[in-house]
Structure 1
Amino acid sequence: MNKKDAKKAPVLRFKGFTNDWEQRKLSDETNRIRSYSISHGFEVAEDTGTKYIHYGDIHTGKVKNINNINVLPNIEDNNYKPLKYGDVIVADASEDYKGIADACIVNTISNSYKIVAGLHTIAFRPKSKLCSKFLYFYLSTDIFKHFGYKTGTGLKVFGISYKELAKFKLKEPSATEQKKIVKLLFLIEKAIHLQQRKLRLLKLLKKATQQNIFASTECLPKLKYRNLTGKWQLYRLKDVAKITMGQSPNSKNYTQNPIDHILVQGNADIRNGYVFPRIWTTEITKIANRGDIILCVRAPAGDVGKTKFNVVIGRGVAAIKGNDFIFQQLQFMKSSGYWKKYISGSTFESINSNDIKNAKIFCPSQLEQKNISSLLDDIDTSIQIQQKNILDFKYIKQFLLQNMFI
């Protein structure tokens, strides 16, 4: 694309804005703020009044829109030059190109705390014409990521220098339009944050419910239905469910043809609690039928899912013909560390046929099993809906980033 054909306005704009966007170098629109080689080794437990931003915390998402200083680690002050409200900090090193120049923004004002930029960071302070939050979102666009991909250097660890970053040419609208774009995107980010918080609460509810139902060792859980007071009976898993240990087909019979038999070998073949077809095979060894529980017997041992298909099972999994109550109890056994006593000390995390067959399972009456599994299934459904809500908001944010910037 030549200069004449270059876009001067984004595809998606607010009503009333028609002026072309102006192109400027990042170095002309910002001042560089000093960063320091402060790493995790400088961190202290006590509150010192000085916090710092580590590039690793930017990559993990621990720090993005910094409006709560408590997420930042403490360090001893050493006459560091502090960051200010609106400063944008980018990570100048990453293990992959996608993470090059991931950004965060200081979005809090505190007279009692000092925040400084730490190891492998480059800090910018936008000048008056450039809204700092607009820059923060700009650095999340594919436009900037592509620039980082082309400019970054390195083999195992990729990096980008201030000298190269300063050359980046961004296009910006009027201050009024910048603020409108920023307001919309922050509303989306707030919605994502709230949905993620609701998801965390639902997962805590699920964990607490399972603990109060399954954690008792006296065959009488803490949480019971009012009219169902009978004691639970202790069984071995093999006494209440049919167990089939997997057997891997010959690798020469593996295919990518969905017409063949779905092969389940381990945790990689399970997504969101269900088998997700990834590899197929022409050879049938051991099988699991639709509705069976799939238990991973190798690292991570104890993970469980279900299958909506008839599948061939490899030696990394076992198939269990059990109801939803058993599935929920197996989930709890994994989260509570039940299988650790079988895998501790081994160089390769795994559980064997005897471990699984002799696993202790508590069972109440069929009616109580049905009520409990229905309750936990409802929470699972709410969790899945919440996960979808988060993905939907993230897709909206990505769409806006792709269409509201040039």
Structure 2
Amino acid sequence: MKDEKKAPKLRFKGFTDDWEQCKLGDVFSFLKNSTLSRSELNYESGKFKYIHYGDILTKFGDITDTRNFSVPFVTTPEKVIRLEKYFLQNGDVVIADTAEDSMVGKVTEIQNPDPFPTVSGLHTIPIRPNKEFAAGFLGHYMNAPFYHDQLFKLMQGVKVLSLSKSAVIQTKINSPSYCEQRLISRMINLIDGTITLHEEKKRQLERLKSALLQKMFADESGYPVVRFEGFSDEWEERKLGDIAPLRGGFAFKSSKFRNTGVPIVRISNILSSGEVGGDFAYYDEQDKDDKYILPDKSAVLAMSGATTGKVAILSQTDYDKVYQNQRVGYFQPVDYIDYGFISTIVRSELFMMQLESVLVSGAQPNVSSEEIDSFNFMIPILVQEQQKIGQFFKQLDDTIALHQQKINNINSVKKSLLQKMFI
């Protein structure tokens, strides 16, 4: 029988000692969480921060900044006094004990940068270490795959997963010396800081894009506030069906889906990120398939389901053909209209505002081609101005996508490091 691994694969130079393993119950004490409901809280003035399990799920893994947690406050001084016994300390860990997905079990380590104390609220498990850990180490360790895999095996439920204190106490914690903990925490904090930097740049570009879409597109006056030099003609109002008629897809039979062949874009492949991706179904190549082939860079619309109204751009250069499934709409090009301009319009707030007026809500939201084709937009008369606008927003979208790709790449590096630097 092999000895259990006591050191990670990747370590800082100079550290060779085995990591210490212990049961969570041996080094942590369970604290009481407040049962104060949100209806008893006042968001206008107050004395403390209140961590609900949803806050952890939204901001999981952020162990240095609790400012983004909701900050509701109690309505009377008496309630503040009553909650003092629930105040958390720096270094305490709060675990989300319920969720509708695998995010249950994620944690935040308390690091209060301001004078407001923090209270752990409903559906959380607060714990306090009985020995000193380097700041941030527990937050990183307990959000790493190694530890979360332990929790996942102990979760109960089907749609809504949950964890109990008795389950959490069974888990094991492995930790190195305090000095090594501190180095690990600092390195991961640097990685997180780089991710945050790119996220902020991405948000700034998205805000810039939103502002420019309002100023670079004409309103009822027929003239935009901001436009490229050399253009002064009045814009004209056109129906979307005249400049990019929406084509419906083909009803492919799911019983004939394959693991290889021609990929089919279904509504599930229209992602909230504005990309076409995810797991594709495949089909044997068909004869006379020109009515449901999707060209590269096609703008496609989800016409039903949870993402109804979402538009994404197809970018599948690895395939000779891509098929369009039913309930996926394809904005077809028209000779005298720049398609880059169309791609910008159908992904703008101008499109979403009209979509909301026709969206059929209920168990299965949906829209029709006729409804989409009836949308009205102001467009430049000259195709050259359309091209300028389309190219400008494509460059902006490409820059936003570049920051997102950097975020994805750094997250992949972080995930790999967490797997190799923890046991």
TM-score normalised per structure 1: 0.89
Q: Is the 8 A contact 2:300 2:313 kept in 1?
A: yes
CA distance in 2, matches of 1:346, 1:7: 53
Which of 73, 89, 106 is the matching residue for 1:75? 73
Shift of 1:285: 8.3
SS of equivalent to 2:346: helix
Q: Which residue of 2 aligns with 1:296?
A: 302
More strand by share: 1
Aligned to 1:286, the other structure's residue is in SS state: coil
Q: 1:63 to 1:134 in 2, by over 3 A?
A: closer
Per the alignment, residue 280 of structure 1 pairs with: 282
Match of 1:314 among 325, 331, 343: 325
Shift of 1:123: 1.5
The one of 220, 232, 255 equivalent to 2:257 is 255
Task: Write out aligned runs for 1:19-30 (5 A).
Answer: 19-30=17-28
Deviation at 1:402, TM superposition (A): 0.6
Q: How does 1:84-103 map to 2 (within 5 A)?
A: 84-96=89-101, 98-103=102-107
Q: Please tell me the root mean square deviation across aligned C-alpha atoms, in Å.
A: 2.5
List per-residue Cα deviations over 1:299-338 (Å, max 9, x = no partner): 4343223334643323312222231101111111566421
Please name the residue that 2:336 is paired with. none
The farther-off stretch of 218-227 and 278-287 is 278-287
- 1:140–1:401: 8 Å Cα contact kept in structure 2? no
Report the secondary structure of 1:319's partner residue: strand
* Contact 2:218/2:378, CA 8 A, preserved across alignment: no
Distance 1:179 1:335 in 2: 50
Q: Which residue of 2 aligns with 1:357?
A: 373
CA deviations on 1:235-269 (whole Å, 9 max, x unpaired) are 222333354232323444x312432x332332534
Deviation track 1:330-351 (CA, whole Å, cap 9, x = no partner) reads 1115664211222256774333
Matching residue of 2:134 = 131
Q: Is the 8 A contact 2:219 2:378 kept in 1?
A: no
Could you list the runs of 5+ residues in structure 2 that have no partner in the other structure? Answer: 75-79, 334-338
Structure 2 counterpart of 1:264, which letter?
V
For residues 158-213 of structure 1, the C-alpha deviation after alignment (integer angstroms, 9 at most, x for no partner) is 33232332332222111111111111111111111121111111111111111212
Residues 195-344 of structure 1: pairs in structure 2 closer than 5 A: 195-214=198-217, 216-252=219-255, 254-259=256-261, 261-269=262-270, 272-276=273-277, 278-282=280-284, 284=289, 286-291=291-296, 292-299=298-305, 300-308=307-315, 310-322=321-333, 323-333=339-349, 336-343=352-359
- Indicate how the Cα distance of structure 1 residues 187 and 263 shifts in structure 2: closer, same or farther if over 3 A, else same: same
Residue 274 of structure 1: how far off its partner (Å): 4.3
Three-state SS of the structure 1 residue aligned to 2:39 is: helix
Question: d(CA) in 1 for partners of 2:359 and 2:133?
Answer: 56
CA–CA separation in structure 2 for the residues paired with 1:238 and 1:246: 16
C-alpha distance in 2 between matches for 1:142 and 1:65:
16
For residue 353 of structure 1, report the CA deviation from its aligned partner: 2.8
Aligned residues: 400
Return closer, same or farther for 1:163/1:303 CA change in 2, 3 Å cut-off: closer
Overall identity of the aligned pairs, in %: 28
**Contact between 2:135 and 2:185, CA under 8 Å: does it hold in 1?**
no
Residue 193 of structure 2 is aligned to residue 183 of structure 1: no
Instruction: Give the whole-Å Cα distance in 2 for the aligned partners of 1:24 and 1:228.
Output: 71
Between stretches 391-400 and 371-380, larger displacement belongs to 391-400
For the residues of structure 1 that align with 2:22 and 2:263, how far apart are their CA atoms? 54
Secondary structure at 2:347's aligned position in 1?
Answer: helix
Letter in 1 for 2:357: K
Give the direction of change, closer, same or farther, for the CA distance of 1:95–1:319 in structure 2 (3 Å limit): closer
Kindly indicate whether the alpha-carbon contact (under 8 Å) linking 1:35 and 1:119 is maintained by their aligned counterparts in 2: yes
Please give the alpha-carbon distance, in whole angstroms, between the structure 1 residues aligned to 2:153 and 2:312: 41
**Aligned ranges for residues 53-72 of structure 1 at < 5 Å?**
53-61=51-59, 64-65=62-63, 67-69=65-67, 71-72=69-70
Q: Is residue 383 of structure 2 the alignment partner of residue 366 of structure 1? A: yes
SS of residue in 1 equivalent to 2:221: coil
One-letter identity of the residue aligned with 1:83 = L
Q: State the alpha-carbon separation in 1 of the partners of residues 49 and 81 from structure 2.
A: 12
- Contact 1:328–1:376 (CA<8 Å) still a contact in 2? yes
TM-score (norm. length: structure 2): 0.86
Alignment partner, residue 104 of structure 1: 108
- Please point out which of 372, 382, 400 is paired with 1:383: 400
Post-superposition CA distance 1:61-118 (Å, at most 9, x none): 278325244633213125222111221111122334x33421001112443x221111
Contact 1:63 1:71 in 2 (8 A): no
Alpha-carbon separation, structure 1, partners of 2:177 and 2:405: 35
Q: Are the counterparts in 2 of residues 244 and 320 from structure 1 also a CA contact under 8 Å? A: yes
Are positions 1:122 and 2:125 aligned together? yes
SS at match of 2:301: strand
Q: For residues 312 and 154 of structure 1, what CA distance do their matches in structure 2 show? A: 38
- Look up the SS of the partner of 1:378 in the other structure: helix
Aligned with 2:22: secondary structure?
Answer: strand
